[in-house]
Structure 1
Amino acid sequence: LLLDDVRVNQYASAHVLASMINRTGVDIVENCAVRLVKLDNQCRVIGAETDYGFVECDAFVDAAGAFSGGFFDRDVDPAIKQFPLHPLFYNSVVLEAEGIYTFPSTVVHDVDLNVYVSHSGRYLVCGGFDKHAFKLDNEDSLLLYGAEGSQLPEQWDFFVHVLEKLAKRFPALLNLPVARQFVIGEAFTPDGLPVVGALPSVPNYYCLTGMNGLVTTMAPGLSKVLAQRICGIEPELDVDKFDVGRFILLHCNKHYISQRATEVAGSVFSNFNPLYEWSSVRRLRLSPLHEELKEAGGVFGEVMGFEQVLYFSKGDVPWMKCGESFPLGKPEWFDHVAVEYRACREKVAIMEMSYLSKFEVKGQDYGVIYFLQKMCSANVDQPIGSAVFTGIQNYKGGYVADCTLNRFGQYEFFMTAAPDQQTRLRIWMQRHLTAEDKTSIHDVTSKYTTLCILGPASRMLMQELTDEPLSSFASFSCRKINIGCVSGIRAVSVTHCGELGWTLHCPNEFAQYIFEQLRTYGQSYDVQLAGNYAFNSLRIEKFYVRWGVDIDWMTTPNECGRSFRVDFNKDFIGKDALLEEMQMCPRRLFVQLLFLEHDMRRDPWPFGNEPIYRNGDFCGFTTSTSYAFTIGCQVSLGYINIDGMRTADEAADYVLDKYAVYEIEIAGKRFQVQLNLHSPDLPMVSSEHPYHYRPTQ
């Protein structure tokens, strides 16, 4: 309940905006249905068939809500018309309450029951969201046509689930007369976030849809963002998480999205956090090792349809993680993750990471080098066998992607990136290919099983399985090596979390054999299976960024302390913007924050996006967080605002002022933290282990 809250009438505001647009000379044509969008041979929109004839256009914006995606011809390839959304309806009822109730607030939300009551003049508008929301068939969608746009006929049979919750929270509502019921059609997406931007395969077909019941709140700002994109202007806000390119084709499957959308619809008011896991439509993308990992106690989450191991449990714990109320006090998985973490730092561990996006980039001549040099901000023209951490920047210097580029041949590269880059990174690179380029880009994510072997004893374990001399296999290098009886396995001496080790990209048919060999030979090293929670703790403790969480489309290397990876002696996309930024000072700095006093058993845990305060004044937000087992405290990463600073040295002095007091607020409680601009020195066990215990010795 917010005493000074406001309520927006979406119908009245739409009329006001329409009037304002009319006064600028824009024509609004009503009662004219758009029937079909026409594409040319280059897969670009050339116009639309309407009730008033064919209308040519340079850009088409699909803001049709529950209708979105229905304008393509049936013969169009499904891979082109990627619309990851499904129409559902949600209900609200208008009650007459004049002279009966005086509300202290405009709106009252019960976020546990997912219902609300809104005060509007002499009426109360009551509604909510429920996972049993009715799915609209194609035939039902025809009902959306009518004098009142997207309003459907009353559906009391389907409102009963919401009504029961309203009666439980507000029993007196049952005594009020009903004025009418609203049934509103809306489009819901697989992750509960809107879809904004151009379709990956149709560059001038723009989407502004999938509002998931929050259209009044989000539409005005996102409309401005999309208008800027159409005009070639970079938005001032980070909206990359809304980009339609975050999805892959399976998210557009109607069987998939119809099942996931109902769960999303029932969770509209939920306060999601990074540990939340959807329960619907699971077990879609399984690595060849899934059943073996499951038998070993793996507890799985889901990322891009992949079942991803979060941690390994020794007890009777369901293998599939669903939901997650972020812990108040130490979570049940903490001790399991501690064991996995120690194995990564002190012995050897195996992580299955097949969910990483993987691409083969090949060429016939040095054209592929020129292309990658233009795409990447680091110098990737390194000798064969090199592995390079590099950003791929946009024209303002922000991160399109943060990836590892491995050179396995003269014109052969293997690229790995974050899981949700599988579509958008490929599209970004392909759109920058010219007709003269003889470069091919292939998504091979589903072709390889990825295993990460990390820890001080990883070299000795690997050496027992390969005839390749690993003493000369330096960090940040790559080779094709033999593992047991299998040849040609792509090995990269990078672990993405700062520990010694290798990442193996194994063709799926060899994955089971290689995994068994690693576990068999690893017994003498007390090898441990580890999951994503341990990986997260390792990377945050060492100040490693993660794309989509710590860095994004709006973040530059100067802001996140990664400009040392940028080679300004060559041309690349975004170079001019970064050089201009370096002449002044970034608007914010990426920092590491160590909690000084936090009771892990009683206090609420941080999970990202908490406000940061400097001497009592707000100064930024955290991005990601985890418990750091070596340091022995909670650690967050985040950004401190430094607007007004003239030089980087001045900014560093300001941020590191010894009299400055920094705090992070969690659930209304502030915790004092220590700020670092660089990762702390962590004790490290020798990477060689000249002797290791064997039962027979």
Structure 2
Amino acid sequence: MTEIPTRARAVIIGGGVSGCSVAYHLAKLGWTDIVLLERKQLTSGTTWHAAGLIGQLRASQNMTRLAKYSADLYVRLEEETGVATGMRQVGSITVALTEERKHEIYRQASLARAFNVDVREISPGEVKEMYPHLNVSDVVGAVHLPLDGQCDPANIAMALAKGARQRGARIIENVKVTKVLTKNGRVSGVSWAQGDEQGTIETDIVVNCAGMWARELGAKNGVSIPLHACEHFYLVTEAIPGLGRLPVLRVPDECAYYKEDAGKMMLGAFEPVAKPWGMDGIREDFCFDQLPEDMDHFAPILEMGVNRMPMLETAGIHTFFNGPESFTPDDRYYLGEAPELGGYWVAAGYNSIGIVSSGGAGMALAQWIHDGDAPFDLWEVDIRRAQPFQKNRRYLKERVSETLGLLYADHFPYRQMATSRNIRRSPLHEHLKARGAVFGEVAGWERANWFAREGQERDYRYSWKRQNWFDNQRDEHLAVRNGVGLFDMTSFGKIKIEGRDALAYLQRLCANDMDVEPGRIVYTQMLNQRGGIESDLTVTRLSPTVFLAVVPGATLRRDLAWLRRYLRDEFVVITDVTPAGSVLCLMGPNSRELIEKVSPNDFSNDKNPFGTWQEIEIGMGLGRAHRVTYVGELGWELYIPTDQAAHVFEVIEEAGADLGLKLCGLHALDSCRIEKAFRHFGHDITDEDHVLEAGLGFAVKTGKGDFIGRDAVLRKREAGLARRLVQFRLTDPEPLLFHNEAIVRNGKIVGTITSGNYGHYLGGAIGLGYVPCANETEADVLGSRYEIEIAGERFVAEASLKPMYDPKAERVRM
């Protein structure tokens, strides 16, 4: 038996490629006192049967950064460790069989250029030259990435393990972690078993890299890691004479990928309706196991494959493989420290892209553990986005049957999940549904995205062009600009912060000055030590010792974790009060006239100016009216007890009939806010974006005293801005902006659109994005010639550093 230490600086649970990568990268940072425990043998869960595709282009700049890092690492590892990784940069081709898919992959090509990934759009004829065995009769377009590749997944894990050992890490097989031990809300150690032997290891850091076992392991400590295994299929042919080295091929319209390996051809599938596996847990002796064949399930993919690559019809099948892989509710993996337990870190749920992801993810997580803060924006994979209810097994079983197939589905903008819906609903849900609401889901919340007209189909018809709700959004948008609209924003996260030390505590965490009179509302950010934005919120002072923080519903768990992380020995209580209240947003130039019809209170500028709140009677209920806006108009957020929300809605609806009140959805909210250049957390502002470069210096008060990030703000003011967030409007009213389109300045790509929508009042697509500006004046930035590249085509854009709509904010103070 291998001697197992009784103390370690970090314990990593799971010996797949993820765990081995974390061990390797912590060791590279100088952590020698590391122990990796694997319940059976290294790679024996999922890693050993992974397809090993290395595609560098991902959906965002930082995910692409991690994938490129993985590819570079796997090339170097063989020389460093002597373990053959099988890494071959054979390139990859993605082909499109429809015009919509062609537009999508051409958009991805523009994105690749913005991220400095080598890419080229190629014709069907060029595809045929590179892939002579392929039927290209119905191919309408393709993209080639010459530096993509393929590898041997098991050997990569072994190389990472060897590299970790060479730097002092201990990797021990056949040892199962039975429990993570805790003390005072933090990890204190792990219990382990090896046959009849048992013991503990003291540690402050545990990293759950347990793959498809991660959810059950996390549940033992109340940590939510919502993932579920699915069956994943591929076949490998017998050797095919004359089959030379070929690029990896993806045919997403047929849910298929192809890989040549040692003269054989692999055909793999991401079928539209997957088969969840392991509902009742995974048996104890599972190790290098395969699941039963299901050729009937795979047959539709194989039939399309024979048409696409006719040589498959005569090639013998060497292996038909079925093995489990874990998938998450949103097809993004989990990384970071769990919000429920200090020192409990997670790297799991890789959704069949674990090999290309784990090199970079291991590097990023190791740096995060080492420094205490993420090295760059990792919000899209942050474990804090997971909702506690999502660990429900029925929810997961239904959802992952969809998410596996979505990997190769058309990635249309605004695409909504079809499974596991209607979990979290506002008290107004049925009211809105009866009035034509078409719902989307965020953090499990059902939210009205748009309202169908009478007789109109209440469903999405997806496209890269104007979708079927475009005119509905326009009407809602213009109602807010010219009349009055009503939004249900019950999904807002609502956090009560109270106690004797609440003010001092918030002054330390927030960049703006929180020392305002009760009755005031403060817009602020919480910053990290780099001056990056960890949270974008409003804080309402309800009384001398009670504050209410309002945050996006999607970031609530992140914000709670950040608040609790910095709570010292102070008399402060932090409570999530989200379910206790609904929020109705009454917005537009006629909103004052409407609210005065349903409430006897005074809503004048003298009594209730912008940035203040008051308790009100409304209908026969009570609530608070907050004079703030996210659409750039006169308006109020009405905070109503959940049990009175339906009554207040009915009263407002009845009173608004004579004023043309329009029910509005989240699509209109977003298009209004982007006209006003209001920032959106997770897109325009992240923990990697300096608050001054984001144009939010007006909400930073360095004169109030010390707060987290203050020194970084002062340094940036001294050094000057390296980039600025700019608002763009396309002069051609036809094209659309969504996200990640390339910003072209004087003929050169300099960045990407962080968020986009259609400005129905301004008459064109609007986008926000960062432009480099070191040693430049505002006049230099605005004096350039700008275009936005969409799917390879460039469109002229106007640029502004001030909001193009109501730049002096006169309308919100009407």
Matched ranges for 1:175-190 at <5 A: 175-190=314-329
Contact 1:457 1:689 in 2 (8 A): no
Contact 1:98 1:123 in 2 (8 A): yes
CA distance in 2 between partners of 1:374 and 1:135 (Å): 47
Question: TM-score, normalising length from structure 1?
Answer: 0.91
SS in 2 for 1:261: helix
Contact 1:357 1:416 in 2 (8 A): yes
How many residues are paired up?
Answer: 665
By how many angstroms is 1:41 displaced? 4.6
CA distance in 2 between partners of 1:152 and 1:654 (Å): 62
Query: What is the aligned-residue identity percentage?
Result: 29
Residues 375-419 of structure 1 show CA distances to partners (whole Å, capped at 9, x for unaligned) of 111001111110111101122221111011111212121221111
Query: In structure 2, do the counterparts of structure 1 residues 142 and 639 end up closer, same or farther at CA, with 3 Å as the change threshold?
Result: same
Alignment of 1:36 onto 2:175 = no
Residues 238-258 of structure 1 show CA distances to partners (whole Å, capped at 9, x for unaligned) of 111211111221112111112
CA distance in 2 between partners of 1:100 and 1:59 (Å): 52
Alignment of 1:454 onto 2:578 = no
Query: In structure 2, do the counterparts of structure 1 residues 306 and 374 end up closer, same or farther at CA, with 3 Å as the change threshold?
Result: same
Alignment of 1:401 onto 2:544 = no
CA distance in 1 between partners of 2:593 and 2:560 (Å): 37
By how many angstroms is 1:681 displaced? 4.9
Letter in 2 for 1:96: E
Alignment of 1:84 onto 2:226 = yes
SS in 2 for 1:46: strand
SS in 2 for 1:70: helix
The match for 1:466 is 599
Residues 491-544 of structure 1 show CA distances to partners (whole Å, capped at 9, x for unaligned) of 100121211000001111111111111111111211111111111111111110
Alignment of 1:544 onto 2:670 = no
Unaligned runs of 5+ in 2: 1-92, 94-143
SS in 1 for 2:260: strand
By how many angstroms is 1:230 displaced? 1.1
Contact 1:43 1:201 in 2 (8 A): no
Residue from 430, 441, 455 that aligns with 2:564: 430
The match for 2:241 is 99
Larger mean CA deviation between 178-187 and 444-453 belongs to 178-187
Letter in 2 for 1:679: P
Query: In structure 2, do the counterparts of structure 1 residues 681 and 187 end up closer, same or farther at CA, with 3 Å as the change threshold?
Result: closer
The match for 2:123 is none
CA distance in 1 between partners of 2:375 and 2:708 (Å): 19
CA distance in 2 between partners of 1:173 and 1:274 (Å): 35
Contact 1:130 1:162 in 2 (8 A): yes
By how many angstroms is 1:685 displaced? 13
Residue from 426, 431, 450 that aligns with 1:292: 431
Letter in 2 for 1:625: G
Residue from 780, 783, 792 that aligns with 1:654: 780
Alignment of 1:441 onto 2:574 = yes
CA distance in 2 between partners of 1:459 and 1:416 (Å): 23
By how many angstroms is 1:684 displaced? 11
Letter in 1 for 2:276: K
Contact 1:347 1:457 in 2 (8 A): yes
Larger mean CA deviation between 4-13 and 507-516 belongs to 4-13
Contact 2:634 2:812 in 1 (8 A): no
Larger mean CA deviation between 156-165 and 40-49 belongs to 156-165
The match for 1:247 is 386
Letter in 2 for 1:242: V
Letter in 1 for 2:670: N
Residue from 470, 474, 479 that aligns with 1:338: 474
CA distance in 2 between partners of 1:108 and 1:354 (Å): 45
Residue from 244, 259, 265 that aligns with 1:118: 259
Letter in 2 for 1:125: M
Matched ranges for 1:123-522 at <5 A: 123-137=264-278, 141-142=282-283, 145-146=286-287, 148=288, 152=291, 154-156=293-295, 158-232=297-371, 234-270=373-409, 272-319=411-458, 321=460, 325-328=462-465, 330-363=466-499, 365=500, 367-435=501-569, 437-471=570-604, 472-487=607-622, 489-522=623-656
The match for 1:668 is 792
SS in 2 for 1:299: strand
Alignment of 1:65 onto 2:200 = no
CA distance in 2 between partners of 1:556 and 1:255 (Å): 41
SS in 2 for 1:426: helix
Residues 439-476 of structure 1 show CA distances to partners (whole Å, capped at 9, x for unaligned) of 21111112111100011111111112222111121011
Alignment of 1:584 onto 2:723 = no
Contact 2:331 2:351 in 1 (8 A): yes
Residues 79-102 of structure 1 show CA distances to partners (whole Å, capped at 9, x for unaligned) of x22111112231111112432444
Contact 1:386 1:406 in 2 (8 A): yes
Question: TM-score, normalising length from structure 2?
Answer: 0.78
Residues 552-604 of structure 1 show CA distances to partners (whole Å, capped at 9, x for unaligned) of 11112111100111010122111112222222133321011111225x2xx5x
SS in 2 for 1:509: helix
By how many angstroms is 1:234 displaced? 3.8
By how many angstroms is 1:425 displaced? 0.8
Contact 2:350 2:357 in 1 (8 A): yes
CA distance in 2 between partners of 1:664 and 1:15 (Å): 44
SS in 1 for 2:216: coil
By how many angstroms is 1:484 displaced? 2.0
CA distance in 2 between partners of 1:244 and 1:615 (Å): 40
CA distance in 2 between partners of 1:327 and 1:169 (Å): 26
SS in 2 for 1:203: coil
Query: In structure 2, do the counterparts of structure 1 residues 144 and 493 end up closer, same or farther at CA, with 3 Å as the change threshold?
Result: farther
The match for 2:164 is 21
Letter in 2 for 1:134: K
Residues 49-107 of structure 1 show CA distances to partners (whole Å, capped at 9, x for unaligned) of 13164333221111121121333585x5xxx221111122311111124324446x421
Contact 1:460 1:688 in 2 (8 A): no
Alignment of 1:620 onto 2:761 = no
Query: In structure 2, do the counterparts of structure 1 residues 157 and 81 end up closer, same or farther at CA, with 3 Å as the change threshold?
Result: farther
Query: In structure 2, do the counterparts of structure 1 residues 686 and 120 end up closer, same or farther at CA, with 3 Å as the change threshold?
Result: closer
CA distance in 2 between partners of 1:140 and 1:238 (Å): 34
Contact 1:594 1:673 in 2 (8 A): yes
The match for 1:564 is 698
CA distance in 2 between partners of 1:305 and 1:664 (Å): 33
Residue from 2, 9, 13 that aligns with 2:152: 9
Larger mean CA deviation between 17-26 and 195-204 belongs to 17-26
RMSD: 2.4
By how many angstroms is 1:687 displaced? 6.9
Alignment of 1:609 onto 2:740 = yes
By how many angstroms is 1:141 displaced? 2.1
SS in 2 for 1:504: strand
Letter in 1 for 2:680: R
Alignment of 1:553 onto 2:692 = no
Letter in 2 for 1:99: P
CA distance in 2 between partners of 1:271 and 1:335 (Å): 23
Query: In structure 2, do the counterparts of structure 1 residues 165 and 198 end up closer, same or farther at CA, with 3 Å as the change threshold?
Result: farther
Letter in 2 for 1:284: I
SS in 1 for 2:172: coil
Letter in 1 for 2:247: T
Higher helix share: 2
Letter in 1 for 2:298: F
Larger mean CA deviation between 52-61 and 415-424 belongs to 52-61
Query: In structure 2, do the counterparts of structure 1 residues 235 and 283 end up closer, same or farther at CA, with 3 Å as the change threshold?
Result: closer
Unaligned runs of 5+ in 1: 691-697
